[in-house]
Amino acid sequence: MTRFLSNLRLVHKLAIPALLLLASGLVTLMTAAHWHDSFERQTMDIVDRDAVRFELANKVVTDLLAGTLTLPLPPGRPLQQLDRSDLGSFVELILRDPDRFRGTRTELASDAPTPAEMCRALSAALGREVRFAETATADIGSPDMAAMWTFLRTRGYQADIETLRREYPGVGWTTFSKWAERALASSGRNPGTW
């Protein structure tokens, strides 16, 4: 099933635009070699981007297993985050009452902990100390990821979390602490099983 979903995502990223172009009659004829080269280039762009993301995520997890949360943020800078279950609950609200949301734009975030607060939550969930270490954005190898962290270090996301919690209480709005407890409890508080 996992392989099927992975293949479906790849088809979605690459083939759907081509199918839409074919269906709409907007395709220009290309040689098979040109189509292959274009497909290969797009595929490698996705693979390279995902490999960089995986490498960065792997570094964060490896450092966390060693007792350190490493992020390219100052220790007091809030980082807005959205729990996937909260996103799903909000999407359900939209699907159940689309007229309520028609023509609106709503920025979402479940919580906005600082790295110092994240360390306290992770320490509590793990039952051992996790300390914070700020890394430099200049050390990030991917220009896209460096741009993202530069944005997060400066303006960052601007969701109005208090209003979201007040106007949509049924979503649940998971705090980082609750997420950490839930995520780490499933591993038996043994980070080696993540």
Residue 39 confidence (pLDDT): 52
39 residue type, one letter: F
* Angstrom distance (rounded) from CA 90 to CA 165: 11
- Domain 68-193 class, CATH top level: alpha beta
Ranking 119-133, 155-169, 175-189 by mean pLDDT, the lowest is 175-189
Of 43 and 60, more confident: 60
103-122 confidence digits (pLDDT tens): 999 999 999 999 999 999 99
Residue ranges covered by each domain of the chain: 68-193
| Residue 109, C-beta contacts closer than 8 angstroms, at least 6 positions apart | 80, 81, 82, 157, 159, 161, 164
Of 60 and 171, more confident: 171
What distances in angstroms separate CA 10 from CA 5, 20, 38, 88, one per listed residue? 9, 15, 15, 22
**Collapsed DSSP state (helix, strand, coil) of residue 171:** helix
